[in-house]
Amino acid sequence: MREGSLDAPTRHIIDWNNPDFYDEQKLDEELRRVFDICHGCRRCFNLCDSFPRLFDLIDASETEELDSVSSEDFKPVVDACTLCDMCFMTKCPYVPPHEFNLDFPHLMLRYRAVEKKNGKDKFVSRELSKTDRNGKLAAPVAPLANWATNTSNKMTRGIMEATLGIDKNAALPKYQSKSLVARAKEAPLEINKDAPAFGRKAVIYATCFGNYNNPATGEATRKVLAKNGIETEVVYPGCCGMPLMEQGDLAGVVENAKKVSAELGGWIDKGYDVIALVSSCALMLKFEWPLLAPGDPAIEKLSKATFDVAEYVMEFAKKEGMADGMQPIGDSMAVHLACHARAQNMGAKGAEILRLIPQAEVTVVERCSGHGGSWGIMKENFETAIKVGKPAARTALNSKAKYIASECPLAAEHLLQGIEKLDAGAAPEKTALHPIELLAKAYGL
């Protein structure tokens, strides 16, 4: 047996249709096996709050070993996991193919799936995960919804904290009256036929966040690709299911996967590449869906054809080259490498595309922002989320960069909140954007 492994991590199929997956005794045995190995290693202590909670739990026990820890006390450890995958991808020496066979995030996912099956999932989190419904309901009243959820609205945010448990200080996504899909239909773009990459075709998977909350990322992507000669279409068959996955609703994830892959498969057949606008969604399409629905031909085909947006830009930049016309934007940039972008194992593509901008000064921020999706906005988690993201916020602040870019839009806003905690005077001078938006700015688009 090797002490650790230097092999590339590999993942097993998530066997969620097997009755043993939901057997609580077998789950507890696996939790204890994995937690005991983690206790003996502790290499992951500074990644998120799950591991400090686990180690404190063991250290405070009678024997200071796992044998004197009650299984009922495991839940806070599970609840603190944001499924960021960084322990699996960057820290743990015992992931497959090592014989210890540790996959901490997917074990936490199994625990939540058991909770879901037993009806123990939380109402508010479950409702927040219904992103398509929420986006459609909010669109007709977007100005009112954004007024009510603004952190400056002490009255409504106080009510939300008291009734829903959403921290009154946590920044929440804004809603748009007009979706990205609708905007793309209304504003066709002229394709630059003189660009080196002319002839390529890509279908942009809008994602729920890109469609309902932040269409600016999708609009910037369309413009940058048109400038580079690439024909695009924007589609949105439905959510990738990441919010459902966070709640352990694996059946819901697979249902969405089958729906989305069926529609996007038609575009692949017509010669289109697939671009996901949000790194979490790209991760789902490329890696998580095939593990949840192994052998599904539509899902496997989509997995092989999908690019993260920054990954796609670098793909044609290296093969064909970029169109002329980029100019310096005159300010330094700090780019946060989102956990779900890093989990795709594609390299620091967000930083790479910013370095395409002439005279770009790019500071790379590799630590977690601490946000963790819907986890980081809850009252019991928000201050912890700020604490976890503090090293990343400090790096971004010390860079003196005006633009705080991240492939995860929620992470970028959360980093601004972290910067405000460190230096309230500096925060208003900074702007949170996706790297593709800065590329569009360099092109003058």
pLDDT > 90? residue 169: yes
pLDDT > 90? residue 2: no
pLDDT > 90? residue 127: no
What residues does 234 pair with on adjacent strands? 204
Mean pLDDT for the stretch of residues 204-228 = 95
Separation CA 207–CA 237 (nearest Å): 9
What CATH number matches the domain at 326-443, 3.40.50, 3.40.1010, 3.30.310, 3.40.1130? Answer: 3.40.50
Residue 426 has a pLDDT of: 78
Q: Which two tokens stand for residue 316?
A: 């044609």
Distances, alpha carbon 331 to alpha carbons 125, 356, 358, 359, in Å: 39, 14, 11, 9
- AA identity, residue 35: F
Mean pLDDT for the stretch of residues 296-311 = 96
**Mean pLDDT of the residues in the chain:** 92
- Residue 71 backbone dihedrals phi, psi, to 5 degrees: -65, -30
Residue 128 has a pLDDT of: 84
Nearest Cα residue to 437 out of 420, 419, 400, 412: 412
Residue 165 has a pLDDT of: 93
- pTM: predicted TM-score of the whole model, two decimal places: 0.93
Using pLDDT thresholds of 50, 70 and 90, give the confidence band for residue 139.
Answer: very high
Using pLDDT thresholds of 50, 70 and 90, give the confidence band for residue 257.
Answer: very high
Class of domain 180-319: alpha beta
Share of the chain above pLDDT 90, in %: 76
Q: Which two tokens stand for residue 417?
A: 């909140």
pLDDT tens-place string over residues 367-416: 888 887 788 899 999 999 999 889 999 998 888 888 889 988 888 888 88
Tallying the residues shown for the chain, one arrives at 445
Give 107's contacts (C-beta < 8 A, 6+ positions apart).
30, 31, 34
- Spell 261-280 as b/e; 16+ CB within 10 A means b: bebbbebbeeebbbbbbbbb
Separation CA 371–CA 410 (nearest Å): 7
Residue 45 has a pLDDT of: 86
Lowest mean pLDDT among 7-16, 123-132, 178-187: 123-132
Residue 305 has a pLDDT of: 96
| Beta-sheet pairing, 403-406 with 362-365 | unpaired
| One-character DSSP codes across 194-214 | TSTTTT-EEEEE-HHIIIII-
Using pLDDT thresholds of 50, 70 and 90, give the confidence band for residue 92.
Answer: very high
Residue 126 has a pLDDT of: 85
Listing from the earlier edge strand, what are the strands of the sheet with 201-205? 231-235, 201-205, 273-276, 306-308
pLDDT > 80? residue 190: yes
Residue 304 has a pLDDT of: 95
Separation CA 119–CA 93 (nearest Å): 35
Residue 193 has a pLDDT of: 95
Residue 111 has a pLDDT of: 96
Residue 408 has a pLDDT of: 87
Distances, alpha carbon 392 to alpha carbons 363, 380, 404, 411, 419, in Å: 11, 21, 11, 10, 9
pLDDT > 80? residue 297: yes
Residue 95 has a pLDDT of: 94
Separation CA 273–CA 80 (nearest Å): 36
Residue 278 has a pLDDT of: 93
Residue 133 has a pLDDT of: 92
| Beta-sheet pairing, 201-205 with 231-235 | parallel
Residue 6 has a pLDDT of: 79
H or E segment and range at residue 227: helix 215-227
Residue 410 has a pLDDT of: 85
Using pLDDT thresholds of 50, 70 and 90, give the confidence band for residue 88.
Answer: very high
Residue 136 has a pLDDT of: 92
Mean pLDDT for the stretch of residues 128-135 = 88
pLDDT tens-place string over residues 402-436: 888 998 888 888 888 988 888 888 777 778 889 99
Residue 425 has a pLDDT of: 81
Cα angle 275, 445, 347; round to 5? 40
Using pLDDT thresholds of 50, 70 and 90, give the confidence band for residue 289.
Answer: very high
**For the chain, how big is the Rg over CA atoms in Å?**
22
Residue 332 has a pLDDT of: 84
Share of the chain above pLDDT 70, in %: 100
Q: Which residue would you say has higher pLDDT here, 5 or 329?
A: 329
pLDDT tens-place string over residues 10-63: 999 999 999 999 999 999 999 999 999 999 999 988 888 899 999 999 999 999
